[in-house]
Amino acid sequence: MTTTNQSRESNPHGPGSQRSSLTTQTTVNIPRLVKLLGPIDRAQGARLMGLLSVIIGRTYVSNRIAHINGHALRLLMQRKTVDFYALVVNALMMGLIQAVLTPLGDIIEAGIADHWRRQLTNTLSKRYFKDSTFYHLVSPAGGCDQVIVEDVPKVGYIRASCHSNDTLKPLVDLGWFSAGVFQLTGTTGLSSLLTYIISGMVFLRLIRPDLAGLTAKREELDGAFSMFHGRLSQCAESIAFLDGGAVESRTADKY
């Protein structure tokens, strides 16, 4: 946390810029974020391993259901009713397992997010109360406490979601289907698949908009809107009777 003695009115960029800067630093400086979240203890490691196991199980079940659907059509065309009914029972069991694994993964992910939320809350609390830091902070719209209360759960949830949807699941899918392609086509098919994946990633990277910049801009505009809303409420008398509207207009034009 940065300490300063300037007031909110003297800050030329406002809290929107502060929140934008905080968002950008959190996005770019990953090692600092990991340090803030604290080390991974045994319980958190068990949750991560459980989440990985659930993702592997869901991948297996999805692949198994797809295989059953294709095999069931073949049995139906061959009029093998006994085998077809057995396959339907197997498909129902796979669907039941998938129905259990999906909420189980959500529960484990929520536990991971809650752990990091508590870790980040403890770290920020120590810095917030150290040497009376809270007396010297530039208070954004709504106050530092409100901003921390809103942002800390978001950071914990996003970090847990990144582990689930952006890290573990793509790696499991890539490894699973790469092994399947290698068994069917050998190194030729696997190299073609990897070339296709890498080319697609490069192409999407070239045409994709700057989502991080757009997110930072949105946070900046949200912060500016909150600040001006608060200023208008506090300076209503000045605007109405002392020509304060011109001052507020010049302040708004900075954005």
134-151 confidence digits (pLDDT tens): 666 655 545 666 777 777
14-65 confidence digits (pLDDT tens): 444 444 444 444 444 667 777 777 777 788 888 888 888 999 998 898 888 8
Q: How many CA atoms lie within 13 A of 239 on its CB side?
A: 12
Alpha carbons 202 and 154: distance in angstroms, whole number: 29
pLDDT of residue 139: 58
Alpha carbons 101 and 98: distance in angstroms, whole number: 5
pLDDT (mean) for 105-115: 88
pTM (two decimals): 0.60
pLDDT of residue 199: 92
Nearest residue to 251 (alpha-carbon basis) of 11, 19, 2: 11
Could you tell me if 20 and 223 are in contact, meaning their C-beta atoms sit under 8 angstroms apart? yes
